[in-house]
Amino acid sequence: MKYGFVIDNRKCIGCHACTVACKSEHDVPVGVNRTWVKQVEKGEYPDTRRVFSVMRCNHCTDAPCVDICPTQALFIREDGIVDFDNRRCIGCKGCMQACPYDALYIDPDTHTAAKCNYCAHRVDVGLEPACVNVCPEHAIVSGDMENPSSEIAQLLSRQQVTLRKAEKGTQPNVFYINGDEASLNPTVTEPKDNYMWSSQSGGVGHFSRYTEKLVADKNLLQEAAKNSEPKDKRPTTTVEAVMNKTKRVYDVPSKGMLWGWEVSAYVWTKAISAGLVMVLAFSALFNASYMNDSSWYSILGSALFFLVLTTALLVMDLDQPKRFIYVLLRPQWKSWLVKGGYALTIFGGLITLAIASRFFNWGIDKPVLYAAAIIGVVVAVYTAFLFAQAKGRDFWQSPTLAIHMLLHSFIAGTSFLVIIMYFYGWSHFWHGFVTIVLFGSIGLNLIVTAFELYTTHSTNDAEIAVKSIVSGKYAVRFWAVAIALGNIIPLILMSNWGPEGMSNWGPEGYLIASVCMLVGSLIHEKIWVEAPQQIPLS
């Protein structure tokens, strides 16, 4: 048994009865929707037509929202319905980033995720979903797709149907008859704040926290619309040319930036914490004699401080912060949020043990440090795998994102190490060591960044994100701060060597370079977190 929907666009009249019925059935608050009707107008007056598309959860066979959910709040029933238990939800918004169809939202009343659940409570007693019952044209068909005698199975066997974003590999179970690319592909038309019957200013609840528009660079979106049109279907007649002019005339409010500054900051603080421990362990392999008690406590104490700050930022970003412990107590092990949560916990325990070992003279400080460094690698890179689970954001699917985050940990950790050693004693050992680590890390970081931006990307959404970074909304911050201030200027400061191999700028030059790298790294991560979220998903 597998339930699904067929949306028959030959019959849909855009009456919004399905939206109203859904809101009534589930008491959905104003400003958010489980089911809605998107309207796109094609052509120019008087040669126009309007396309209606019912949008909702696609109840995917391979649902990415289920895999990323850290607490099993989302789950797939035996009948194929993707349901949710809001008593478990911590409001991390990972499911919203993972869903390519923009189907989930944060309920402003419960502060938990919610979506269409196929009216599972009605299905369980033999009824159809509320939207199916109320549709005056029978444009929404539901049922068991594996039952050959069901209406939906017969429609699927006889009619040519269209899926939304089939290339994502989620195996969606909402099918459209006469599905129109202009309506189903979100980058073909530009989202707006004002439509025919509504004025939308950023949503409600969680979504009102961020005022940034979903898509700020209209030129990039217009170019994306041209690129998304198949070349063999470009208009060849005047009528076709007119009808291919499209605009979005009605839609739901934009959800805006789901992961804001808290996530960007946590990636940065996590990089500093993991980097300090990895660099300290790496340096110990060459010469452990320099590690007096004061430097040991300062370096590991700073790592522990930034780890605590990382945890605080993670909790701040949750819409149900009091439930953060559910990640450890009710884990769903496919989620990298869970794996990362345990890695952070073990990492903090090992750092504390290393400090205690030195303080109480237990003699295990070095082995514990090496163990912490190994876990530190996981702490540094796990967010890359979490972002990869966010299948709604194509730019985060980069195969080099883990290397990117590991290199940023070495850069951020070594930079903060320089600041510590500037006040605790600078030596030729530290000069040579940090020079090698920073030159290597910065060089590799520039190569990886170029690879992420300038290699061919498999989707149009990823290309839009890249263009917004290199030539659009984020270009000035990227080139001036992330690249120039964070990489080029530090290389210049550290390359100005004197006759004894020490930079002519002395320790102060390295101190300035370290501050530049920390600022550049923060802005770099902020751009990488924000840019993909500027692209509409529905």
Residue 256 lies inside a defined structural domain of this protein: no
User: Contact 302/416 with Cβ under 8 angstroms?
Assistant: yes
Q: Which CATH number do you get for residue 214?
A: 3.30.70.20
Of 26, 36, 29, nearest in space to 57 by CA? 36
- Are 119 and 210 within one domain? yes
Per-residue pLDDT of the chain (538 residues; tens, 9 = 90+): 999 999 999 999 999 999 999 999 999 998 889 999 999 998 888 788 889 999 999 999 999 999 999 999 999 999 999 999 999 999 999 999 999 999 999 999 999 999 999 999 999 999 999 999 999 999 999 999 999 999 999 999 999 999 999 989 999 999 999 998 888 988 888 877 677 666 555 555 555 454 344 444 556 655 555 555 544 444 444 444 444 688 888 888 778 789 999 999 999 999 999 999 999 998 887 764 456 777 888 899 999 999 999 999 999 999 999 999 999 999 999 999 999 999 999 999 999 999 999 889 898 988 999 999 999 999 999 999 999 999 999 999 999 999 999 999 999 999 999 998 888 766 666 777 888 899 999 999 999 999 999 998 888 899 999 999 999 999 999 999 999 999 999 998 887 655 455 555 667 888 899 999 999 999 999 999 999 998 888 8
User: Does any domain span residue 224?
Assistant: yes
Q: Are 538 and 272 in contact (CB under 8 A)?
A: no
Give yes or no: residues 151 and 228 share one domain: yes
Q: Which helix (H) or strand (E) holds 5?
A: strand 3-8
Q: Do 502 and 450 belong together in one domain? A: yes
Q: What's the pLDDT score for residue 155? A: 95
Q: What does the alpha-carbon distance between residue 417 and residue 272 come to, in Å, rounded to a whole number?
A: 9
Element (H, E) at 275: helix 261-284
Domain boundary among 226, 250, 274: 250
Q: Is residue 476 part of a domain?
A: yes
- 144 and 31 co-located in one domain: yes
In a domain, 347, yes or no: yes
Distance separating alpha carbons of residues 333 and 420, to the nearest angstrom = 37
Q: Is the dihedral angle over the CA atoms 148, 151, 153, 157 positive or is it negative?
A: positive
pLDDT digits over 284-327, tens only?
Answer: 877 644 567 778 888 999 999 999 999 999 999 999 999 999 99
Is residue 255 in some structural domain? Answer: no
Range of the domain at 209: 3-250
pTM of the model: 0.90
User: Is residue 356, in this structure, part of any structural domain at all?
Assistant: yes
Query: Which residue is listed with tokens 């019912």?
Result: 54
Residues 299 and 444 occupy one common structural domain:
yes
In a domain, 417, yes or no: yes
Task: Say whether both 456 and 490 belong to one domain.
Answer: yes
Task: Check residue 26 and give its pLDDT.
Answer: 95
What's the total number of domains in the chain?
Answer: 2
Q: Are strands 3-8 and 174-177 parallel, antiparallel or unpaired?
A: parallel
| Co-location of 173 and 280 in the same domain | no
274 and 227 in a single domain? The answer is no
CB-based burial label for 10 (10 Å; 0-12, 13-18, 19+): exposed
Q: Are residues 236 and 314 both part of a single domain?
A: no
Name the domain boundary from 201, 216, 250: 250
Residues 305 and 209 in one domain: no
* Last residue of one domain, picked from the residues 230, 250, 270: 250
* CATH number for the domain that contains residue 297: 1.20.1630.10
Given this model, what pLDDT does residue 300 score?
Answer: 94
Q: Looking at the domain assignment, is residue 240 inside a domain?
A: yes
Same domain, 287 and 363: yes
What gap in Å lies between CA 252 and CA 524, rounded to an integer? 31
| 329 shares a domain with 237 | no
